Structure 1
Amino acid sequence: MRRRDLLLAAAALGVPMPVLGRSRAAGDARHLVVVFAEGGWDVTFCFDPKLSCTSPDGAPCPVEGPEVDEDPEDPEDREAVQTFAGIPIVVNDRKRPSVRRFFERWAGSAHVVNGIWSGSIAHVPCRYRMLTATQDGRAPDMATIAGYAHGAGLPLGSVDLSGWSIAGPLAASSGRLGASSQLAGLLDPSALGTPVNAPSDYPFFEPHPDDDALLEAWVRRRADGLRGRFGDGGANDRAIDDLVASLDRGDAFRERAEPVLGALSVGRTSSLAEQADIAVELLTRGVCHAVTLDTRERWDTHDANAGQHAMYQRTFAGLDRLMAGLSDAGLLDRTVVAVVSEMTRTPLRNAATGKDHWGHGSALLLGAVRGGAVSGATDQQVESLPMELSTGEPHPDGRLCRYDAFCAGLLELVGVDPEGWLPGVVPFRGAHPV
């Protein structure tokens, strides 16, 4: 993104937006990478095995999991539960071999959280809750908060490669790649190409460096005017400070990120594996502190739930790429990767062989976590069971691991005090390193 683009965008902010103060850190300032599986994955295909599940009366659980799709004519197409470093996972080497390969390699750095209660079965409310720990679509998500808290000296606190990140009042510290890599066009306008039927003298105007200097001077005068009119020694002044700081932040972002993002193609959506490479480079080069990625899968399988096999296969191949990149860069022990979805699927399939929405999900935490372990559980109907939030152990007298408790624990994992952002919420600490 060029200085003049930042200037024009910043100048459009007629009234400053309130900005929250940075919260006290709760521990080590770890990087955060959020990988979002939009639509609602079926956790019985992987994290929450129900293949040999029985109800209290001894009858089989009323759950139609991946075994429903087995081909009776193919002896290799069989579902099984295998334990990797203490984590039971559903595997099928015919349909989802990348799942086995992933946990064989990374189970020691993995923590599964089952039975996360989202309190809704609608996509948007569940997405808000799992990403921001609130029901308010204006609140910042966990990656944005982590980036804001720990990325003060970086060009950006957080970068969104997914399109799902919610910056809220912390937008001044976050950046977006764009659903179709639009940022590449800001870094290099020539990447946008020439419009169809454009005249020979297109583009009509290209600013000279002197024009950029005039724009910068104008924005600084504008900031002084805003401060004189709206300055309050608080939120307004912080917002104006962000506007002025964006001038230098834009140059720093361009200098550090351009070698990483220069290969982007405008109009093309990046795969999870490609996002993984970009995320590692952004963190390695000190461009940002937190990143949000997307699996690029359509997990909302109301029709043909069998499609989740291929989605898991591609997703775990991409996650392996991410973990290998973080490990090779020496970042794995200083990074928490949170792979989350807004919900899971119903226990039984519908008439279209799909599954509908179910508000009890799972998450996969990777990297700087208590590895080789599982927290929480669900019952025979894939409904969340109470747990001891301090340990993650299921307990009838415990609490449900609500979405807000999960997110509060995630903030603690990356060294942010959740009380400043989620006051009164008891954090889930089952994945905290011992």
Structure 2
Amino acid sequence: MEKIDLGIDIITRDLSAAFLILSKLSDDGTTATLIHRYFQRELWTEISMADRLIMLAALPLVPFAIILLTTVFTALNGFSIKKRTGKGIARQIYEQITLASRYAILSPWYYIFELHDDDKRERAGEYLNRFEMKGGLYKLLRKYNGGLSVPADRSTACIKDKSCLKARCSDHGIATTPILWIFEKGQIRKIDWQDEKLPEIDLFVKPLAGQGGGGTSRWDYVGSGQFRYNDGKIVTGDQLIEHLRQASERKTYLVQPRLINHREITDLANGTLATIRVMSCRNESDDYEVTDAVFRMARSAASVVDNYHAGGIAANVDIQTGELGRGTRGAWGIVADGWYERHPETNVPILHRKLPYWPELIDFVQHAHSRLFSDQVVIGWDIAILDTGPCLIEANKAPDLDIIQRTRSGPVGNGRLGELLAFNLRRTVVAKHALLETHSL
């Protein structure tokens, strides 16, 4: 999945950006259109001349890229969609080409957002494109701090560095995963575990600055000072330490205790820690508001992480009630499985399940945003619900909106998140132009 992720990013990034910047938008005054326009107008002035030339040079390749992507993703999904909906292959191809030409929505997202559904396709302009957000608008918001007159982009490095994040959480009394040891350049830095031996508990190892669950491993304690790797291999504690010493010559790793979900949702977790992606955004009162949430769980018990782009399942969460919608996969446009009311491997119900500690989780996220990263306009939080309550796992400075829009079966551009993004972008643009005028005097 990581190779698919990287490949699609490389193929579509500059093409989508160029398409979005140069496309003609309707003048409907909606927040979604405002966001698209901000990308068109502001990002062109933000990017370097080299990037502009790359985008312009990519335009002649657009027809070939559209044909390639349409061919690949229709082959992956077309017949299952035809079987499920009755829509023919030729019609799917025509709709993909039309959406790419008009909205810069390429074939993977035709299937991710189910735009073969006529009602959803009518709202195509309301979807926020992965590349306008991750490739530009998030950076613009961070650079000018959403238009507030305080230093911008102070905490981005701390978001990426998990040891820094943990220290900041400790300073503000926010529950997060302990860090037992850090392995770096063959050396051990002891944080929350001062013994010379590893604790006799299940362990979770991940890169200090990793993303998407890449490079993670689980080591279950099996007794007698031994640990079992997720592939079944058993090693002693000393062998595990030596393994991590060697691995840390190339990359820094954290050793943490393996966390277990709240007893009411362990059946959904399928042997892996299930987490909730929670979106929070600065609002009109300069407070921080939760707008969307998605519950993520592993599809296979062999998985180490619940990551959606690693084959995991996601379900929308009603932010008012904490109730789950149907589960789905669909990352990177591979949507043959459709939707699940029950977990496809364990058969436990997903639909209408209510998450424990939900009001507390909303308060937890809003408090964390204001205390930890007040200079960040928008954050995607990864939260686990334990028997003790919500626990922060990670924070994301440029959260992907595909999973949000897929699981909610609709766009966010004209929803509450879209409203807040448009509000903050409006202030950002005013602050940016005022700063430029000051520097020009």
Q: Do Structure 1 and Structure 2 share a fold, with TM-score over 0.5?
A: no
Name the one with the larger helix percent.
Answer: 2
Name the one with the larger strand percent.
Answer: 2
> Larger relative contact order (C-alpha < 8 A, sep ≥ 6)?
1
- Name the TM-score, length of structure 2 as normaliser: 0.30
